[in-house]
Chain A
Amino acid sequence: MLAFLIRRIGQSAVVVLLMATIVFFGVNLVGDPVHMLVSPEADQAEIARVIQQFGLDRPIVEQYWLFLKGAVQGNLGTSFIFGQPAVGLILERLPATMELAVCALVLAVFFGIPLGVYSGIKPKSRVSQVIMAASIFGFSLPTFWVGIMLIMFFSVQLQLLPSTGRGEVGSFLGIDSSLFTLDGLKHIILPATNLALLKMSMVIRLSRAGTREVMQQDYIKFARAKGLSFGRIVWAHLLKNIMIPVITVLGLEFGSLIAFSVVTESIFAWPGMGKLLIDSVLQLDRPVIVAYLMIVVFLFVAINLVVDVIYSLLDPRVSLTGAKS
C-alpha cells in the first residue's frame, strides 16, 4: 500500500509540473489583461504603471520562473483584479461549490441507482422505458437551457423557489453552510437539480447496464435457486457488483462537479469557484485562472487516488501493492 502511494505521488508530481507549464503558457500568451483592467480614461503613464505592477514588462520565461518559484512555496500569484492571493480567493469560494457538488451528487446517487437498477431488472416494463427516455433528455439537453427553464417554471410561474443566489448561511458543529438553514435549502434545490440531471442520467445508464449483466450471472441464479429473497439478492449480490464502475465514474464526475460547474453557477448566480473562474476568464485575471487550474489538477489527482483505495475495499481482488504485476 505504502509503495503504491509513494509511486502514485511521484507520478502525480510529474503530471502537476507538466500541467503547470501548459497552463501557464497557454493562459499567458492570449490577449492583454491590462486593457481589460485600466480605465479607458487612463493615460499612457498609468497603463505603463499597471503593466509594471503585474510584471508583464518582464520576459515570459522570467515570469514563468517567478511563478514556479512562488508555486513551490504555495503562492500561485496575486489576482490582478482583486489584489489578493489567488489561492485564498478560490478557497474562499470552495464551500459554496462543495455544497452544490455534494447535493448534486447525493441527488444523482439516490435517484439514479434505484431507477437504474429497477429498469435493469425489468427492462421491458413501461416505467423502465419512461426512465430510459427521460435519461436521454438528461444527457442531451444543454445545462444552461434546463437551468433557465427550471427558473422560469419554479420561480417565475409557480413562485415556489428563489430564482438565484445562495441563501442564508447557518453554522452547525463549527461548519458554516447554507445547507443548515431553510432559506439556504430552498436556494440550493434548483441549482443542485440542474447540476444533478446529467450525472443522474449517467448513473441510471451505468447501473442499468451493470444490473442486466449481473442478473445473468451464475451466482445470481444460484442465489435464486438457493431460495434467497429477492431483496437480499439485490442488496447483497447485485448492488455490490455493479458499484465498481459507478464509483469510478462518480469519482471523476465529482471532480468535474467541483471544478467545472461553471454554467450552473453562472446561471444561478451561485457564489462558487465556477463563477469565479468564468469571471476571471472573461476579464483575463491570469493568476486566478492559472491557480484555479492548478488546484483542479491537484483535486483530480487526489480523487483518483481515493477511488483506487475505495476499489480495494470493495473488491478484494484489486491489490494496491501493484509493484509485482
Chain B
Amino acid sequence: MRKYLAATSVAVGLLTGAAYAEDLTIGLASEPTSIDPHYHNLTPNHALSRHIFDTLIGQDQVQNLYPALAVSWKPIDDTTWEVRLREGVKFHDGTDFNADDVIFSFERAPNVPNSPSSMGTYTSGKTLVKVDDFTIHVKTEAPYPLVPNEISQIAIVSDSIKDAATTADFNSGKAAIGTGPYKFKSYVPGGKIEVTGNADYWGGAPEWDKVTFRPIPSAPARVAAVLAGDVDAIDGVPTSDIEALKRSDGDKVSLWQGSSNRVIYLHMDQFRENSPFAKGKDGSAIKNPLLDARVRKALSKAIHRNAIVERVMEKVAIPAGQLLPEGFFGASDKLEVEGYDLEGAKELLAQAGYPDGFELTIHSPNDRYINDAKIAEAIGQMFTRAGLKMHVETMPRTVFFQRASSGAEGGLPEFSLILAGWSAGSGEASSPLKSLIHTFDNERGFGASNRGRHSSPQIDAKIEQALSTVDDEAREALLAEATEMAIEELAIIPLHFQVNTWATRSGLTYQPRTDEFTLAMGVTRE
C-alpha cells in the first residue's frame, strides 16, 4: 500500500511539475486599473502593459535605456531627435508594425477620455513627424534631453484599432493588440488577468506559455498564497515577514531584494515667517526656526539613519545622503550619508539661538510608504533627544497629501515638517530635482511637489540648464551639482532608499527592478 501511494505521489508530482513548468501565477499587491496602456499613469498599469505592449525604448532593471521598437535614437539638431524603428515586427493580430502605429499611439496617449492621470506628462511639448515607414522625428520647442526617457513610457498600440480604441475595448481584449512578449487573454477586475506567450515575439519566445496575475492586496494572505503554492511569485513582501520567511520557509520560497528609486525624505517649511506647527516650548509663536540652515543641518545630524534602517525597516532599506541611489544617472558621487551626531546637532541648535530647542510636529502618511508611521515616530524620538518638544501626527494618505500640498489658506502647504517619498520614474536625477527641489512655479510646471517651498535661484538655474543640455556627460555633471547644492542647503533631508522584496517558490529566480515593476519577464527557472 505504501509503495502504491509513493508511486501515485510521484506521478502526481510529475504531472503538476509539468503543468507548472509552462504556467506562471503572480500575486500582485496592487492591481492595475485598466488594460489600456494609456489610460492611467500608474506603476501597476505600466508594469502590466509591458507584457502586452512594447515601448520604443525600454528601461532595464536599473532603468537604463535599451532599444526596443526603436533600434536607435539620436539628436540631429537642437530640437529634433531622430528615432529609427525596428523592421519586421508584427502585432499580435498579424499586422506589421511601422511609423503609423507610433504616430497613432502618441496621438492617443494624452487624450484618453476620463483618464485619472494622463500620459500627457510624457508627451507634452513633443511633436512626432513621420519621415518614412521606419523613421520618426521627435521635435521639441526647446532643446530637451529627456526625450528618450519620456518616450520610453509610452506603449505602442496598433493603429488598426483606430475605430475601437476606447478603454472599455482594451479591457474586453478587443483592442488589446500589442507587439509585446505576451498576448492578452482575459481580464476579470479584482479577480485575475491572464496573458499567453507570444511565440513569434521579435525578442525571442518568452519563458512562460501562460501567465496569470492575481491581485491579493492583503499582505499576510499574499505571503500565505506563495507558501501554499497557489501562486509562484509575489511582490510587496512585508518587511516584518522577511526574517521569518528566511528562517523557517527557506526551502519553500526564495526572496529577491533590490533597491528602488524611491527616496524617503523630510520636507521642511521654508517659506513662512511663522510656521503653524513650529512654536516656542511654552507654545508661544516664534519665528520659523526651519528658515535657518543651521537648524535644518542640526535636524539632519540628529537622525540616526542606521538605527531606522536596522530597527524600523528590519534592515530592508539603504541609508540615503541624496535623491537617488549611487549609480543612477545624475546621482552625485561626492555626497555622503549624514552621520549621526547628537552633540553636533545640539551645538548647531544653540548657535542658531535655540539652546533649549522648540516645539515641532512631524506629519506623515500611515499607509503610503513601507513602515511610514513608524519612521515618523522614530524621527520624533530622535529630535526629542536633540532637545525639541516633538509631536507625531500620522494620517491616511487620502487626507495627508491634500493637507500637505494645499491644506492651508490660499492653497499653501499646511504642515511644518513632513515625511514623504519620491520615486524617480524617469530613472535619473532630473525627476526629483524638478519636482521636489526647484522653486514652486505654477506657470512653468516646476516644483509641483515642493511642499517645503525651498527656493534657490542658483539651484533653479542649474536644473533648468541641465534640462536643456542634450549632451549626456555635461547634463549628468549639472544634475550632480544641482543635487549637491540642494543637499548642502538642506532643501530636503533624505532618510533612506526603499528596498523592495519579491518572493518566489524555490526553483525560480526574480530579477528585482528599481522601478518597482513586477514582470513575468523577470521570473526565470533556475
Contacts and interface: CB of A to CB of B under 8 A. Distances in A.
Interface of A: 30-47, 49-50, 53, 78, 80-84, 89, 92-93, 96, 147-148, 151-152, 155-156, 159, 162-166, 266-269, 271-272, 275-276, 279, 282-284
Contacts of A152: 224
Given A36-B401, A39-B425, A40-B423, A46 B221 contact: no
A82 B113 CA distance: 11
A269 B399 contact: no
Nearest to B153: A41
B274 interface: no
B121 A269 contact: no
A282 B398 contact: yes
B121 A164 contact: no
6 contacts: A39-B121, A41-B426, A46-B117, A93-B189, A269-B216, A269-B217
Contact of B121 (A41, A162, A275, A282): A41
Q: In the complex, which range does the number of interface residues on chain B fall in?
A: 35 or more
Nearest to B367: A282
A271 B193 CA distance: 12
Contact of B41 (A42, A151, A162, A267): A42
A195 to B, nearest CB: 15
Pairs of residues from A and B, 7 with the lowest C-beta to C-beta distance, nearest first: A43-B445, A83-B114, A32-B402, A271-B190, A31-B398, A35-B401, A271-B191
Interface in B153-211: 167-168, 188-192
Interface stretch (B57-65, B225-233, B384-392): B225-233
Nearest to A151: B224
Contact of B228 (A30, A38, A151): A151
A32 B401 CA distance: 8
Nearest to A285: B116
A183 to B, nearest CB: 12
A38 B230 contact: no
Contacts of A44: 442, 445, 448
Contact of A30 (B113, B167, B399): B399
Contact of A165 (B118, B191, B448): B191
B483 to A, nearest CB: 18
Given A151-B224, A155-B224, A41 B435 contact: yes
B398 A30 contact: yes
Nearest to A263: B218
Given A42-B121, A269-B214, A271-B191, A37 B221 contact: no
A275 B468 CA distance: 46
B422 interface: yes
Given A155-B228, A163-B224, A165-B192, 5 more contacts: A41-B431, A81-B33, A164-B214, A165-B214, A271-B190
Nearest to B39: A83
Nearest to B407: A32
B449 interface: yes
A269 B218 contact: yes
Contact of A45 (B191, B221, B445): B445
A244 B449 CA distance: 60
B120 interface: yes
A92 B168 CA distance: 14
Contacts of B217: 266, 269, 275, 279
A78 B113 CA distance: 12
A31 B14 CA distance: 54
Given A82-B34, A165-B230, A36 B398 contact: yes
Nearest to A283: B398
B118 A49 contact: yes
Contacts of B374: none
Contact of B448 (A42, A268, A272): A42
A34 B402 CA distance: 8
